[in-house]
Structure 1
Amino acid sequence: MAYETKALFRDDAYLSTAEGAVVAINDRGGIILDQTNFYATSGGQPGDTGHFERADGSRIQIAATVTGETKNEIIHVPTEEQAVPEIGEKLVLHVDWPRRYRLMRMHTACHLLSVACPFPITGAAVGEEESRIDFDLPDPSYTKENVTERLMEMVRANAPVITRWITNEELSANPGLVKSKNVRPPMGNGQIRLVLIGEDGAVDSQPCGGTHVSETQEVGEIHIGKIEKKGKENRRFRIRFGSLPAGE
């Protein structure tokens, strides 16, 4: 049986603390709640870690958050030898906020990189210290220096980052919204979540279920640490926090 968890992070990525009630414990000890602010691994972004607080003040440490039989079933995986909560028990959910916020900044940076390099995406992964995007990019004129400069222009412009829901039909009528060459966004539930950067998506607009900052300046100082050739026309761009080291 698949359960449906209300994903609070889809409407408020800054909800570091929330409440949820236990609806099930799966056969591997995973905790399923009626609602959660914990993001589940998806779309290249790792799931959240953190802890649940019980009524007596004790904690259940959460090592990972993943999806179950469907994208709407969210499973919280405790670290080993944790107490098992009761069905119906109400918990206070505490996301590891410093880690999540770094991932939010990185995920938004990845969207900006897809603007700086407007080519089909063949792979991507969001990380706490480094993220990567693979592009089908034959043009060698894209360098660490000029791409970093373009990224920081968009960061400093401080464009708003918002989300909006569209129908499957609207997405089908606008195929250019999908930047990934190989992966289509899930279209099973009739609605697609768009992440828009800039007024009415003037900077970027693409389907994404991940968590993002609310304005581009929150991304902070970022740079392209490395560009790797991964095939005849495939380039891997690695994004890192901080400024581009001198002499690189």
Structure 2
Amino acid sequence: MQERFYLDPYQQTLSTTVVRHDEQGLVLEETLFYPLGGGQPGDTGTLTLADGTPLAITDTRRDKETRDILHVLATDAPRLPVGTPVMLALDWSRRHAHMRVHTCLHLLSVVIKAGVTGGNLTAESGRLDFDLPEGMELDKDQIEAALNRLIAEDRSVRVQMTSGEALQRQPELIKTMSVTPPLHLPEIRLIEIDGVDLQPCGGTHVARTAEIGPVIVKKIESKGARNKRVVVALA
């Protein structure tokens, strides 16, 4: 299956065909729907049949065993035969918001120089948990100002590829302490924010930081002796 969200995260529609449809979900020859992973939600949208019938895609997941991308349809949707032609259309406003928030979280990991122990995002906000020395305080206003300065600098965001072997020689690029990238793979995807950040990531991102728009730091919470949670939101 071609995963078009990696080739062009801005593509919003796609003609494709059914490969399999069973109780697990719908598998297509190609897709532009991103599956739940790395803290980023699975895409939603619409699948339209050749006769114009629209079917709602309510979630997108990846099968852990086969690695197939599973499109979840409403429970009353008909089973589609193999080879059925379909047209996919993303809920673009939701996906684009995920891209903006996800890139913002990468910038947050630049502003706060500490290991990341967890993270999550929605179309409105995102959060990262940081491993900080006990007693170390974070200044909400300073973090917000630094984030918005990096966003306004309109830095380019690009994809690079590396290998698991090469990444093992650059452990400083791995910021997430709770999840290790698949270092056994011959190719691992890196996201570079020009001049400020380079780290492994399988999510979708905007092309330039200014596209994120202004953000606010909603709150900073203690989640343990060394764990601080920082929540940011699109303004």
Q: Tell me which interval the TM-score lies in, with the shorter structure as reference length.
A: over 0.9
* Percent pairwise identity: 37
* Residue number in structure 2 paired with 1:143: 139
After the TM superposition, which residues 144-223 of structure 1 pair with which residues of structure 2 at under 5 Å, given as runs?
144-198=140-194, 202-223=195-216
Q: Is the 8 A contact 1:7 1:72 kept in 2?
A: no
Q: Is the 8 A contact 2:40 2:122 kept in 1?
A: yes
Distance in 2 (CA, whole Å) between partners of 1:132 and 1:110 is 7
Aligned with residue 16 of structure 1, among 5, 12, 16:
12
Aligned with residue 129 of structure 2, among 129, 134, 138:
134
* Residue number in structure 1 paired with 2:35: 40
* Residue number in structure 2 paired with 1:52: 47
Per-residue CA shift, 1:161-206, capped at 9, x if unaligned?
01111111111111111001121012344210001101xxx21011
* Residue number in structure 1 paired with 2:226: 233
Q: Is the 8 A contact 2:4 2:30 kept in 1?
A: yes
Q: TM-score, normalised by structure 1?
A: 0.91
- Does 1:63 find its partner at 2:58? yes
Q: Is the 8 A contact 2:111 2:146 kept in 1?
A: yes
Letter in 2 for 1:176: E
* Residue number in structure 2 paired with 1:77: 72
Q: Are the structure 2 counterparts of residues 71 and 137 from structure 1 closer, same or farther at C-alpha, using a change threshold of 3 Å?
A: farther
Q: Are the structure 2 counterparts of residues 93 and 188 from structure 1 closer, same or farther at C-alpha, using a change threshold of 3 Å?
A: farther
Per-residue CA shift, 1:34-74, capped at 9, x if unaligned?
11000000000000000111111111110000000347410
Q: Is the 8 A contact 2:156 2:208 kept in 1?
A: yes
- Deviating above 4 A after TM superposition, structure 1's stretches of 4 or more consecutive aligned residues are none
Deviation at 1:100, TM superposition (A): 0.4
Q: Are the structure 2 counterparts of residues 218 and 71 from structure 1 closer, same or farther at C-alpha, using a change threshold of 3 Å?
A: farther
Distance in 2 (CA, whole Å) between partners of 1:143 and 1:8 is 40
Q: Is the 8 A contact 2:17 2:28 kept in 1?
A: yes
Q: Is the 8 A contact 2:117 2:176 kept in 1?
A: yes
SS in 1 for 2:89: strand
Q: Are the structure 2 counterparts of residues 137 and 71 from structure 1 closer, same or farther at C-alpha, using a change threshold of 3 Å?
A: farther
- Does 1:122 find its partner at 2:117? yes
Q: Is the 8 A contact 1:54 1:92 kept in 2?
A: yes
Letter in 1 for 2:234: F
Distance in 2 (CA, whole Å) between partners of 1:238 and 1:137 is 16
Distance in 2 (CA, whole Å) between partners of 1:18 and 1:215 is 24
Distance in 1 (CA, whole Å) between partners of 2:202 and 2:105 is 14
Distance in 2 (CA, whole Å) between partners of 1:36 and 1:125 is 23
Q: Are the structure 2 counterparts of residues 185 and 21 from structure 1 closer, same or farther at C-alpha, using a change threshold of 3 Å?
A: same
Deviation at 1:144, TM superposition (A): 1.1
Q: Is the 8 A contact 1:39 1:65 kept in 2?
A: yes
Deviation at 1:140, TM superposition (A): 3.3
SS in 1 for 2:138: coil
SS in 1 for 2:203: coil
